Amino acid sequence: MEPQLRQAVADGVATVVIDHPAKRNAMTADMWRALPPLLAALAADPAVRTLVLTGAGDTFCAGADISSLRAEPGRAQELAVRAEEALAAFPKPTLAAVRGYCVGGGCQLAAACDLRFADAGAAFAVTPAKLGIVYPASTTRRLVALVGPSTAKYLLFSGESIDAARALRSGLVDEVLPAGELDARVKEFTRILASRSLLTQAAAKEFAGGAEGREAHWAEQTRASGDTAEGVAAFLERRQPRFAWTPPER
């Protein structure tokens, strides 16, 4: 089977699967190149309220396909960063569901998601020092924001892997699930996310990412959406709210 990114949408949740099992789901140049337009299409789909990124089989992603680095080292890194930034900018909640190896570029992708849930057997490593690669400032800052300067330096300087328990303690992941329970928990949690106000989530995502000067924009979006009135009415009527706001077209 050719390396590919598979996608499916059900019940408001888009699932993107990194599928290259012959190389532990390593990302080829074509896969890096395909991710931004795929994300743009899902962002524009009103049926999508949240997104899950995961890997086929028992591995999340072993990083970049090394053969692509040999062919075009600078170009391969540029494509990886572009894909990472597209994922970080996705306007709806994103969650990485991690099992097995989450290494190098795979860890970049997981870090670019809003949340990370991991199987107890998952292992994480950031490996540029093994290849003589300098990570871009944006990638490094994103890692530091998650785990702090000391752990980021440990990972970047050594390239050593850490287990899911240490990843949880450091802030690299948000939940660790016992073996066999990851899929059920991700399904349960994304159902919750899809039922909540996308307006609230999108604004919180912007503000948490450091955006400033956008308060007036979000106040106007709130007034125009009717979501607050719907949320209050649903609470008083003891029913599930039917939030209508979707991101404006870019």
Structure tokens at 132: 């003589």
pLDDT at site 250: 61
Fold for domain 4-192? 2-enoyl-CoA Hydratase; Chain A, domain 1 (3.90.226)
Cβ neighbour number for residue 118 with a 10 Å cutoff: 28
- The answer to pTM > 0.85 is yes
Beta strands in the chain (DSSP E): 4-10, 13-19, 50-55, 94-98, 101-103, 115-119, 123-125, 162-163, 175-177
Residue 73 in 3-state DSSP? Answer: helix
Alpha carbon of residue 115 to chain centroid: 7
Beta-bridge partner residues of 27? 64
Measured distance CA(210)–CA(97) in Å, rounded:
25
pLDDT at site 65: 87
pLDDT at site 131: 87
Alpha carbon of residue 191 to chain centroid: 16
Structure tokens at 155: 């990972």
Return the amino acid letter for 228: T
* Ordered alpha helix ranges (H), 29-148: 29-44, 66-71, 73-88, 105-112, 128-131, 137-147
- The DSSP code sequence of 173-203 is -SEEE-TT-HHHHHHHHHHHHHHS-HHHHHH
Q: From its phi and psi, is residue 11 left (phi > 0), alpha (psi between -120 and 50) or beta?
A: left
Q: Which residues of the chain have pLDDT under 50?
A: none
Whether the Cβ atoms of residue 206 and residue 172 lie closer than 8 Å to each other = no
Where are the CATH 3.90.226.10 domain residues in the chain? 4-192
Phi, psi angles (nearest 5°) of residue 24: 50, 40
